[in-house]
Amino acid sequence: MSEAKAKQAIDKAAQAQRQATRKALAKGADAPKVLELARQTLVRAERVIAQVLALMPAPRPIACTAGCPYCCHVRVTVAAPELFLIADYLRRSWGAQARGLLKRRLANIVSATRNRPEEIRNALRLPCALLDGEGRCSIHSVRPLSCRAVVSVDVQACRVAHARRMQGAVPQHAYQALAADGIGYALYAGLADRGYPIENIDLAEGLLRVIEDEGALARWLAQEPIFG
């Protein structure tokens, strides 16, 4: 019964997300509407994750904590609205010098990973450019759905996987992944309904592009292929 209720909660939230995406990107959509869409997408994801965890608790306590960056060494893909929200957060919250250093880190990651297969990129174990000096996510409040989907219930397994160049199984809570991914798929579906391409954008490459070009969001709304 709890499993069925969890799936129903995910389906209901996904349907609402698809409708909200279509509404936000209706004729006359502008930058504030896209940013608010991204914010509300994350709010909806956290809400349905909480519902699902209440119905289907993890078999063991979730081991993820601030400053535990083992999983933050693999390729992350995002939807365009998520990128624009992160870029907006950085412009509002970070100084020019910090943004400049971030661009340098992003450019280094892009240079080292572009056109490489995902398994090779993961084996490089390059830390996410958005980790701070203590291994904490510096954009935690606006982190992507892909990051919210992954939670471990065994930190030792995370350490071993990291030591083995991101190889090896890490026990996770499947229903948190289903909840976050359900919202993500619905976001993509709503984008497609409005004629936007389905793009799994590389976080490092996409973020570098949008923070270097403050007109990127306006051009994306005009459906220019800014992500290649």
Chain segment 140-185, per-residue pLDDT in tens: 999 999 999 999 999 998 999 888 888 888 888 899 999 999 999 9
Average pLDDT estimate for 18-47:
97
pLDDT band at 4 (very low <50, low <70, confident <90, very high): very high
Chain segment 46-57, per-residue pLDDT in tens: 999 999 999 999
Average pLDDT estimate for 28-50:
97
Instruction: Determine the straight-line distance between the first and last CA of the chain, rounded to whole angstroms.
Output: 45
Domain parsing of the chain, residue ranges? 2-221
pLDDT band at 44 (very low <50, low <70, confident <90, very high): very high
**CA dist., res. 116 & res. 162, Å (int):** 19
Rounded to two decimals, the pTM is: 0.95
pLDDT value for 26:
96
In this structure, what DSSP letter does residue 172 have?
Answer: B
Q: Which residue has the higher pLDDT, 18 or 133?
A: 18
Residue 73 CB partners (closer than 8 Å, separation 6+): 122, 125, 126, 127, 128, 162, 166
Residue-wise over 56-69: b if at least 16 C-beta within 10 A, else e? bebeeeebbeeeeb
The mean predicted confidence, pLDDT, of the chain is 94
pLDDT value for 2:
92
**Is the pLDDT assigned to residue 1 strictly greater than 80?**
no
pLDDT value for 104:
97
E-state strands within the chain = 77-78, 201-202
**CA dist., res. 104 & res. 87, Å (int):** 15
pLDDT value for 118:
84
Tokens representing 80?
A: 């365009």
Chain segment 95-136, per-residue pLDDT in tens: 999 999 999 999 999 999 988 888 888 889 999 999 998 999
pLDDT value for 59:
85
Backbone angles phi, psi at 152, to 5 degrees: -105, 150
Instruction: Identify which of 101, 171, 166, 152 has the alpha carbon closest to the alpha carbon of residue 131.
Output: 101
